A and B are shown apart, each in its own frame.
Chain A
Amino acid sequence: DAGVIQSPRHEVTEMGQEVTLRCKPISGHDYLFWYRQTMMRGLELLIYFNNNVPIDDSGMPEDRFSAKMPNASFSTLKIQPSEPRDSAVYFCASSPRLGRKWETQYFGPGTRLLVL
């Protein structure tokens, strides 16, 4: 398996522009997570999906952020409009269903976003 795939790997954009980050989870995994990592705040869980359904989006910072998972093999995280404080590394992770609780999460390589 190729692992979790994220694109783009790097994104530089100007304030006010729309940014779309993409993720392909590992085939067969039921859970998908979006995280944001910054020096100041560390690794934050933004939202997670179970079987394509958003379960908890309490970590999404503002209405400017939205995430979708139209099918089991694809998810997007959109920021509109983007702001400089959104600059961070965004990770996608997926996890198989084992029992009722999460087990190992498999992380993608991340997307480095810089908003000028």
Chain B
Amino acid sequence: SQQGEEDPQALSIQEGENATMNCSYKTSINNLQWYRQNSGRGLVHLILIRSNEREKHSGRLRVTLDTSKKSSSLLITASRAADTASYFCAKSLSTGNQFYFGTGTSLTVIP
């Protein structure tokens, strides 16, 4: 993809462990957002981080942004079975009106 990808594509962990997903991009962004999609459902917004921010927290979620490396990571701490879902990053580019979703990371949390 011209706008980067998420990795890993799939992740399987035990309940209670931390899960880390990464997102890369190739051009300057205005903001980057993380979404969750449960099987058969629509996407739900989790957190937004702006280009001038380096870290944000929301509950058990922690998002970091490294603009020099053009990458972001989503950390879910103390994972639960209910966290099982696909996670997508979406990039709002600085120029033009472009908004791209990545291919997603499929997370499975084993009880």
Interface size band for B: 20 to 34
User: What is the distance, in angstroms, from B93's C-beta to the closest C-beta of chain A?
Assistant: 9
Q: 1/0 contact trace for B68-108 toward A, CB 8 Å? A: 00000000000000000000101010000101111110000
User: In this complex, what residue of B is CB-closest to A55?
Assistant: B97
Q: Contact between A91 and B33 (Cβ–Cβ < 8 Å)? A: no
Question: Which of B33, B42, B104 makes the CB contact (< 8 A) with A42?
Answer: B104
Which residues of B sit under 8 angstroms from A103, Cβ to Cβ?
A: 31, 48
User: What is the distance, in angstroms, from B40's C-beta to the closest C-beta of chain A?
Assistant: 8
Q: Contact between B97 and A56 (Cβ–Cβ < 8 Å)? A: yes
Question: Which of B31, B43, B44 makes the CB contact (< 8 A) with A101?
Answer: B31
SS class of chain A's interface: helix, strand, loop or mixed? strand
Asked, given contacts A101-B30, A101-B92, whether A107 binds B44 with beta carbons under 8 Å apart, the answer is: yes
Q: Contact between B44 and A43 (Cβ–Cβ < 8 Å)? A: no
